A and B are shown apart, each in its own frame.
Chain A
């Protein structure tokens, strides 16, 4: 599992960071992104839907928003 710390970044920066790390990965890899801007709960899933990745899990723990993503094939 790859970890990405996107705490204290405001949208769309966490989306950009997620996109940039996914570019370096291959299909089937998993990434866990930890954020503090609640906007990510909307924006990262939208970005994943558009670009063919799957959000496996979303969690909200102590004001942190954590998304686990499986990288898609394209």
Chain B
């Protein structure tokens, strides 16, 4: 009997990677999944921060896919290495801050390395020609294969018949005529195949697999870089961009105002790293101040925070500002809603 070949499958949690892996399993290939965590993935439980979302906990779709397939899943933390991909993408960004092409090249490259270290023969992805405007085009498919170093060890089972033959096909590890020729933006062939395999309840993310395809998230990230005068970030920055109302009343500081109890609790964890503001005379949200602020700035910040407290209509609100354990107290008149300028909202 021929030796059973081993493929490592990039599993994002979406339908396409689920199907691609299933096609390989059907051909008798041993498949294990690999999932990369950049920090921006929508699969994280950041939504668990908001109290209202806690009632229906969201599953991690990559884990769910692996369970449906009955394969192992290896989740790899690439937060640090990914910075260079996002900050200096050779092929640029998509519609927002998503460096999809560089991202794919990087991930396939990592998968190739993993395959070598773990004795796997080839790599598969759920890519489909024409499915995504930036990374999944006929002309970018070979770029990914080449620049990742995977070359003809990278197989895309869902559109392989539209692409040159790869080594797994040539060597007879997989049957080319049992692969697919999907192309274009339509989702119909994938849905039909899902039905054939008996998959339902699969995830259908609208934009992509990460927050970088999200417009408002990208605006916040660009604002963060502009305000710091350099393009860099830490994991805490990424997390905080997902939480609260962000307001930048002055170039030198930004306020992150909790919108509800869950966010309030989450922001508590950052009290030591940031200047914080709390309303004392009235109930109000915990607010972090990111940047530097003079006393006048702090007073303005206090007036804004007061606006978001239950004392918004009061003549005066007491606000406590804490910086490195040192408290300062301000008694301020809350700003009126028309004094909160639209341009401040990030």
Contacts of A41 in B (CB 8 A): 57
Check if B163 is an interface residue, CB within 8 A of chain A.
no
Check if A28 is an interface residue, CB within 8 A of chain B.
no
Q: In the bound complex, what is the Cα–Cα distance between A50 and B54 (angstroms)?
A: 24
Asked if B75 and A10 make an inter-chain contact with CB atoms under 8 angstroms apart, the answer reads no
Contacts of A19 in B (CB 8 A): 74-75
Chain B's closest residue to A41 (CB) is: B57
Asked if B73 and A51 make an inter-chain contact with CB atoms under 8 angstroms apart, the answer reads yes
Chain B's closest residue to A11 (CB) is: B45
**Nearest chain B CB to A56's CB is how many angstroms away?**
19
**Nearest chain A CB to B27's CB is how many angstroms away?**
21
Asked if B59 and A13 make an inter-chain contact with CB atoms under 8 angstroms apart, the answer reads no
Q: In the bound complex, what is the Cα–Cα distance between A46 and B62 (angstroms)?
A: 10
Contacts of B239 in A (CB 8 A): 10
Q: In the bound complex, what is the Cα–Cα distance between A12 and B77 (angstroms)?
A: 9
B214-247 interface (Cβ within 8 A of A) = 239
Check if B147 is an interface residue, CB within 8 A of chain A.
no
Check if B283 is an interface residue, CB within 8 A of chain A.
no
For B57, give its contact among A15, A42, A50 (CB under 8 Å). Answer: A42
Chain B contact-residue range equals 20 to 34
For B67, give its contact among A11, A12, A49 (CB under 8 Å). Answer: A49
Contacts of A46 in B (CB 8 A): 59-60, 63-64, 67
Asked if A13 and B37 make an inter-chain contact with CB atoms under 8 angstroms apart, the answer reads yes
Query: Are A37 and B43 CB-contacts (below 8 A) given A12-B60, A42-B59, A47-B73?
Result: no
Query: Are A12 and B75 CB-contacts (below 8 A) given A38-B57, A42-B59, A50-B63?
Result: yes
Q: In the bound complex, what is the Cα–Cα distance between A42 and B63 (angstroms)?
A: 10
Q: In the bound complex, what is the Cα–Cα distance between A11 and B239 (angstroms)?
A: 11
Check if B76 is an interface residue, CB within 8 A of chain A.
yes
Q: Beta-carbon contacts of A52-68 to B below 8 Å, as 1s and 0s?
A: 00000000000000000
Q: In the bound complex, what is the Cα–Cα distance between A50 and B73 (angstroms)?
A: 7
Asked if B45 and A10 make an inter-chain contact with CB atoms under 8 angstroms apart, the answer reads yes
Check if B46 is an interface residue, CB within 8 A of chain A.
yes
Contacts of B63 in A (CB 8 A): 15, 43, 46-47, 50
Q: In the bound complex, what is the Cα–Cα distance between A49 and B64 (angstroms)?
A: 11
Q: In the bound complex, what is the Cα–Cα distance between A52 and B249 (angstroms)?
A: 52
Q: In the bound complex, what is the Cα–Cα distance between A15 and B43 (angstroms)?
A: 12
Check if B71 is an interface residue, CB within 8 A of chain A.
yes
Check if B269 is an interface residue, CB within 8 A of chain A.
yes
B3-49 interface (Cβ within 8 A of A) = 37, 41, 43-46, 48
Contacts of A43 in B (CB 8 A): 45, 59-60, 63
Asked if B269 and A8 make an inter-chain contact with CB atoms under 8 angstroms apart, the answer reads yes
Contacts of B46 in A (CB 8 A): 10
Most chain A beta-carbon contacts within 10 A, residue among B46, B59, B63, B67: B63
Chain A's closest residue to B47 (CB) is: A39
Check if B158 is an interface residue, CB within 8 A of chain A.
no
For A12, give its contact among B44, B54, B64, B72 (CB under 8 Å). Answer: B44
A22-54 interface (Cβ within 8 A of B) = 37-39, 41-43, 46-47, 49-51
| Chain A contacts to B: CB under 8 angstroms | 8, 10-13, 15-16, 19, 37-39, 41-43, 46-47, 49-51
22 of the cross-chain contacts (CB-CB < 8 Å) are: A10-B44, A10-B45, A10-B46, A11-B48, A12-B41, A12-B43, A13-B77, A19-B75, A38-B54, A39-B45, A39-B48, A39-B58, A39-B60, A43-B60, A46-B63, A46-B67, A50-B63, A50-B66, A50-B67, A50-B71, A50-B72, A51-B72
Sort A-B residue pairs by CB-CB distance and give the 10 closest, nearest first. Answer: A39-B45, A11-B45, A46-B63, A39-B48, A50-B66, A43-B60, A16-B77, A16-B75, A51-B72, A50-B67
